[in-house]
Amino acid sequence: ADQIIFWSRLPLVLLTVLFGWLFFVWTKGRFGSMTALLALTFFTFSPTILAHSRYVTTDLGAAIGFFIGIASFIMFLEMPTWRRTMIFGMALGAAQLLKFSLVLLAPILGVVFLIWIASHSARTWREWVEYVFALSGKITLAAVVALVCVWIVYTPFVWSYPMERQYSDAEFILGSYGFRPAVDVNLALIKHPITRPLAQYLLGVLMVQQRAAGGNTAYFLGEVSAAGSPAYFPILYLFKEPLSLHIFTVLVLGFCAVLIKRWWAGQNQNRTSAARHPCKIFARRYIIELSAIVFILVYWGISIRSNLNIGVRHIMPTLPFIYLLAARGVTSWIRGDFQPNPSTWAEWFQTIRAIYIKAIPKYIISIGLVFWFVASSLSNYPHFLAYYNELAGGAREGYRIAVDSNYDWGQDMIRLKKFVERNHIPNIAIAYFGGGDPAYYLGDKFEPWWSSRGAPSGWFAISATLRQGAFGLPAPGFVQKPEDTYEWLRAYTPVDRVGQSMFVYRLP
């Protein structure tokens, strides 16, 4: 089983390395080596990226999908050639095949498109309309290319799938789906042989939406609820990302506010024809940053409203863009305001002073924060999943805020096996939250346990997710069964912790 897990995880690890390389190369081409290296450092040492890039899940795939989708769309907008149209279409199709939640690319790219065409300068309304129609036509073609990519990949899955069975399965699975017209569209697609592959893809999209709407019982800040909390993702982002990143963010926001104020004042003072539409100039110049901000706001807005609060991993696709914005802002803050193309000795001296002398304190602060970022992450090796920053008390105390995939996914089972062997424990009762099989690792030493059985005699281990889920107070409207509360366990203190996620007791 361990070999199967290892070889299953290896492609995800390699995919993360590929993603990091693409992220660096694209950022370097846009903003230079310094920004790219800093963004890559955030990416490489992010506890969330390190944790979930070695699990066989779709979260890393979603992050890659959003990145290639948005990056290729920006490249297309800047130069809408037929070649870039096809590249954008294939990237969009690949993104849809990585995770069903990538359908969110449509509204996100729609907002970016509106910003871009609003910033387009044309001599007449007719030229502007012609430009918009030409661009829209190529985007439509790219969407068709994306659908063809999805159709090609899903076709083998319906070759030996009888149409009647596919229809009845879809009707049964989507029986409780709230928006009936979407179900009817899916069923109509199944009836035609050509569109059956697209129906199978659409079924997955609707199932994900159905799952997200249903919510999940979860522990958060001392409460247990099946309804989502609007504070869930902001709080988890605050505590699950290194504190130094938040300090960088505050510095960047302050610097950007000053920069925008100066830029706007300069535009108002400059009455030349080039400054008649400052917002258009700003949108064109900073389309990458604006696209990143749009994506983060839309994705976070949808996530905050979701009832599915089971892990900060669900906002992981936004992290590379957050790192990009942070790195972009930090490098601009360090360089400050100086003449980019000096032509006189005075301007040369001013440039050298700004880059190499005046910026020394900023370099010291930035290097110190980067080292703190890296050290904070690596000090939790190999427990990256359980990482919480200093504000939360570190990984040791993070379980008090939220568990599940934020802290405990059953990753310490092998460590528990070694603990049992090291302490020569003949028998141990275990309440385990995870995908592993305790009996595979512990054999006849393992005894499955749950709350309603009462207190076992001797050694007892319980996963942090089950423990906090039982100890947490029921949120208003949530009904918790008394037999599931582990009330009898409150009287005892753990004698040890295995890894971070397993609490071990020695009961009389």
**Residue 477: is it exposed, middle or buried by C-beta count within 10 angstroms (0-12/13-18/19+)?**
exposed
Rounded Cα distance between 147 and 96, Å, is 9
Of the candidate ranges 181-190, 248-257, 320-329, the one whose mean pLDDT is the lowest? 248-257
pLDDT given for residue 201 in this prediction: 96
pLDDT given for residue 274 in this prediction: 47
Reading the block at residue 186, the tokens are: 């899916």
Rounded Cα distance between 496 and 506, Å, is 9
Calculate helix-pair angle for 196-214, 163-173, nearest 10 degrees. 20
Task: Summarize the confidence of residues 350-367 as an average pLDDT.
Answer: 78
Query: 3-state DSSP helix/strand/coil percent for the chain, to nearest 5?
Result: 70, 5, 25
pLDDT at residue 338 above 80?
no
Rounded Cα distance between 401 and 220, Å, is 6
Of the candidate ranges 37-46, 304-313, 369-378, 408-417, the one whose mean pLDDT is the lowest? 304-313
Calculate helix-pair angle for 82-98, 59-78, nearest 10 degrees. 170
Reading the block at residue 286, the tokens are: 């900073």
Residue 337: pLDDT band (50, 70, 90) is low
pLDDT at residue 67 above 80?
yes
Rounded Cα distance between 356 and 354, Å, is 6
Task: Cite the DSSP H helix spans in 401-447.
Answer: 413-422, 438-442
pLDDT given for residue 47 in this prediction: 96
Output phi, psi for 379, to 5 deg: -65, -15
Q: What is the pLDDT of residues 228-283, one digit of tens each?
A: 889 999 999 999 999 999 999 999 888 888 777 766 666 566 555 444 566 777 78
Rounded Cα distance between 42 and 37, Å, is 9
Could you tell me which of 7, 104, 112 has the C-alpha nearest to residue 65?
104
Other residues' Cβ atoms within 10 Å of the Cβ of residue 431: 23
pLDDT averaged over every residue in the chain: 90
In sequence order, what E strands does 217-284 have? 218-220, 223-225
Answer positive or negative: Cα dihedral of 270, 276, 278, 281. negative
Of the candidate ranges 49-53, 277-281, 341-345, the one whose mean pLDDT is the lowest? 341-345
pLDDT given for residue 273 in this prediction: 47
Rounded Cα distance between 68 and 91, Å, is 6
Task: Cite the DSSP H helix spans in 353-444.
Answer: 360-378, 394-397, 413-422, 438-442
Task: Summarize the confidence of residues 458-484 as an average pLDDT.
Answer: 88
Could you tell me which of 481, 453, 455 has the C-alpha nearest to residue 469?
481
Rounded Cα distance between 486 and 453, Å, is 10
Could you tell me which of 121, 4, 21 has the C-alpha nearest to residue 56?
4
Task: Summarize the confidence of residues 107-125 as an average pLDDT.
Answer: 88
pLDDT given for residue 368 in this prediction: 95
Output phi, psi for 30, to 5 deg: -90, -40
Other residues' Cβ atoms within 10 Å of the Cβ of residue 255: 17
